[in-house]
Amino acid sequence: MLTRTIGRFFVWPIDRLAALLAPTGIPPNVITWSALILNLWGGILFAAGRFAAAGGMMLLAGLCDLLDGPVARRQNRASLFGAFLDSILDRYADLILFLGLLVYYSHVNRFGYAMLAGAAMAGSVMVSYAKARAESLVPTSEVGFWERPERLVLMILGALTNRMDVVLWILAIGPNITVIHRILHTWKETKDVDPSVASTKRDGQTPRENISSLSKPASASLRSSVGPQEQQRPNVLTRTARRGG
């Protein structure tokens, strides 16, 4: 992604800021919640028509989003729940910002742009949901361009330059195209999978993993020899405890 490439240039300054914050003992979750509060303020400013100020709030919120993960790692507080909380609050922040724009354009009787704000809001939610749902069925769904960093950068630029009308057209179309892209990608990945095999996804495997497991009776017998508690325990040690992603 473009913003990931650009983001590499900010690794060092963000790491330095995290090094300054970490010794204060501030909990990473407080930084995560601060990002939501700043975005809430930004949404209120959008609703009031103060776009430049809202863009400033989004910049500060984005800084918090970038800092919570590095601070958590420096404090040895990185956790699966932290990554989960960060993702959930990001979704609320997106909704708040677009709701602010929707309120503003409705108030000034620009109903066409209010509808664009609604379409952009739907796209921002569905891009994330399509990826999460797809990756419960296939190994990865890293397709499409309009992920959250790209959307936020464009919104900030639109707010600071007072060109939100152009930005809304782009965000009403681009992310929804990415949703369609992810639907097609998931269809291609799953069209040859037996539905009866795919239904065993509840055991925590992708359909491809389930297909391969059918040809491994030794593995099956090994699993059957393990107690039910061990079978149900999630293998959290193999997952990366990330925040801010």
* Of the candidates 59, 171, 175, 65, the residue with the CA atom closest to the CA atom of residue 128: 175
For the chain, percent of residues with pLDDT exceeding 70: 76
- Ranges of each domain in the chain: 2-194
Which pLDDT band, with edges at 50, 70 and 90, does 141 fall under?
Answer: confident
Quote the pLDDT of residue 135: 85
Is residue 197 over pLDDT 80? no
Is residue 2 over pLDDT 60? no
The answer to whether 28 and 80 have CB atoms below 8 angstroms apart is no
Q: Please provide residue 119's backbone torsions phi and psi, each rounded to the nearest 5 degrees.
A: -65, -40
* CA–CA dist 111, 64 (Å, integer): 33
Which CATH class, in words, describes the domain spanning 2-194? mainly alpha
- The residue with tokens 């419960």 is 136
Integer CA distances (angstroms), 158 to 17, 142, 169, 210, in order: 27, 26, 11, 46
When the pLDDT of each residue in the chain is averaged and rounded to a whole number, the result is 81
The answer to whether 197 and 207 have CB atoms below 8 angstroms apart is yes
Is residue 213 over pLDDT 80? no
Tens of pLDDT, residues 172-193: 999 999 999 999 999 988 887 7
Which pLDDT band, with edges at 50, 70 and 90, does 125 fall under?
Answer: very high
pTM for this entry: 0.76
Query: Helices (DSSP H) in 199-243: which residue ranges?
Result: 207-214, 217-224, 228-232
Tens of pLDDT, residues 82-97: 999 999 999 999 999 9
- The residue with tokens 């909380």 is 85
Q: What angle do CA 170, 172, 178 make, to 5 degrees?
A: 85
